[in-house]
Amino acid sequence: MRRPSSVDVSSVDVSAVDVIATKRDGGRLTDDQIAWVLAAYTRGEVADEQMAALAMAILLRGMDTAELARWTQAMIDSGEVLALPSVGRPLVDKHSTGGVGDTITLPLVPLVAACGAAVPQLSGRGLGHTGGTLDKLESIPGWRASLSRAEIAAQLADVGAVICAATPTLVPADRKLYALRDVTGTVESIPLIASSIMSKKIAEGTGGLVLDVKVGSGAFMKTSERARELAETMVGIGTAHGLATTALLTDMSVPLGRAVGNALEVAEAVEVLRGGGPADVVALTVTLAREMLALAGISDANPAEVLASGAAYPVWERMIAAQGGDPSAPLPVATHVEPVVAERSGVLACDALAVGTAAWRLGAGRARKEDAVQAAAGVVLLVEPGAAVETGRPVLELHTDTPDAVPGARAALADGLEITDGPAVRPALLLDRVDRVSRRDRW
């Protein structure tokens, strides 16, 4: 179902050069300019070089709150909204800005469904350290990412949980603009990041949204200040569009969990769903589940108890099977596994970015969207960061199908894996929470 635009773009007298010049000079784009330029760009009537100039002007000049709300709506108007029918449960979703070992979506979606909500999780593939959520799930034999709107609705009604690719008609303007930003040095623009994320979530039709905004070396946002600005921007957009939105700022200075890779993270997620798993993955999964259930209006479920009992695992099995996957099938295993040992005794310190880069060099991630990923590649932490180690003890394992990649992975770890004499204190996992926006006139 297409959501009608509030502006008839066919009758608007606007040119791309005028739009670019307005923002270049620090002016405010009108509703007509925004609606026209995004619609025309989606149709191919505004050239990539013109949209690149506008994206750079937005990065340098910013947008005011009204502009950003209208820009997001125009992104939504470029395609169709899912308009999911009632599935008998409240709809609630989660989005993470991504990190190293960020496997949380996999146990979180079935957990929240097991607690009584329905989760329409539209996810993507990764570009960088490791694969995205879809890449991880595609390591399961038979599992498919692409579902029709009817299949999504049916699975939500039956299982309460779906993780799949966005439908092709959902926010096509973002698909074009996202690719352009990646090659024009405009990825860092907070208005463009926020509108990209929020336009898809609003078009998805969820009733509530929890954002996990990562902070630290392994995150897109390296500082708490920038992460909070992004969180406030997205919460502001959600509020302006009537979507109940909460954001959590969480630490990404060290990897989450012990597995960094595609099939490796699926195995860890299954362990968590069966009542085990690393304490940090369990803690963040439960924290996000509580926030999602609060937005869904569900107060009589205890996600910590549900997860620990293993009651969410059957929901995982049904979700995977509904999309053609075999949840009992063996996951891919790397043909080459090599340990990294401690060079001296002390306390292990581990930087998220270094581990993520090592996993990428082993084949777990991609440099370009068209690159393939190795399902079995990645890094396994054998020792928890902050734990004591002895000389010669294995602390990591490098998994890959291309042994020639190991030296590059070891080089990536050279400055990020350290044995110290003093205690290593991990920052708190939960750093901040944003559920309302402080007064701000410009982003």
Measure the CA–CA gap between 198 and 68, rounded to whole angstroms: 11
Measure the CA–CA gap between 93 and 84, rounded to whole angstroms: 13
Measure the CA–CA gap between 302 and 316, rounded to whole angstroms: 18
Residues annotated as catalytic (active site), given as ranges: 95, 174, 181, 196, 200
Fold of 93-328+430-434: Pyrimidine Nucleoside Phosphorylase; Chain A, domain 2 (3.40.1030)
Q: Residue 2's pLDDT is what? A: 37
Domain boundaries, the chain: 13-62, 93-328+430-434, 336-420
pTM of the model: 0.91
Architecture in CATH for domain 336-420 = Alpha-Beta Complex (3.90)
Q: Residue 6's pLDDT is what? A: 47
Task: Please report where in the chains the tokens 């994320």 appear, as a residue.
Answer: 197
Q: Residue 370's pLDDT is what? A: 67
Measure the CA–CA gap between 217 and 26, rounded to whole angstroms: 32
> Tokens in use for 323?
């999309």
Region of residue 185 (phi > 0: left; psi between -120 and 50: alpha; otherwise: beta)? left
Q: What is the longest distance spanned by two Cα atoms in the chain?
A: 73
Q: Residue 126's pLDDT is what? A: 63
Helix residue ranges per DSSP H, 62-137: 65-77, 105-114, 133-137
Return the closest-CA partner of residue 164 out of 194, 178, 143, 195: 143
Q: Residue 179's pLDDT is what? A: 82
Measure the CA–CA gap between 350 and 348, rounded to whole angstroms: 6
Helix residue ranges per DSSP H, 46-104: 48-61, 65-77
Return the closest-CA partner of residue 348 out of 386, 379, 381, 382: 386
Measure the CA–CA gap between 369 and 151, rounded to whole angstroms: 26
Ramachandran angles phi, psi of 137, nearest 5°: -70, -30
Residues 316, 322, 327, CA angle at the centre, nearest 5°?
45
If you ran DSSP here, which 8-state letter would residue 404 be given? G
Q: Which residues pair with 247 in a beta bridge?
A: 211, 434
The superfamily CATH assigns to domain 13-62 is Transferase, Pyrimidine Nucleoside Phosphorylase; Chain C (1.20.970.10)
What string of pLDDT tens digits covers the 443 residues of the chain?
434 444 455 555 789 999 999 999 999 999 999 999 999 999 999 999 999 999 999 999 999 999 999 999 999 999 988 878 888 899 999 999 988 999 999 999 999 999 999 999 988 776 556 778 999 999 999 999 999 989 999 999 999 999 999 888 899 999 889 888 878 888 889 999 999 999 999 998 899 999 999 999 998 899 999 999 999 999 999 999 999 999 999 999 999 999 999 999 999 999 999 999 999 999 999 999 999 999 999 999 999 999 999 999 999 999 999 999 999 999 999 999 999 999 999 999 999 999 999 999 999 987 666 678 899 999 999 998 889 999 999 999 999 999 999 999 999 999 899 998 877 677 899 999 998 765 555 54
Asked whether the beta carbons of 48 and 428 are under 8 A apart, the reply is no
Helix residue ranges per DSSP H, 297-432: 303-309, 313-322, 352-362, 406-413
Q: Residue 441's pLDDT is what? A: 56
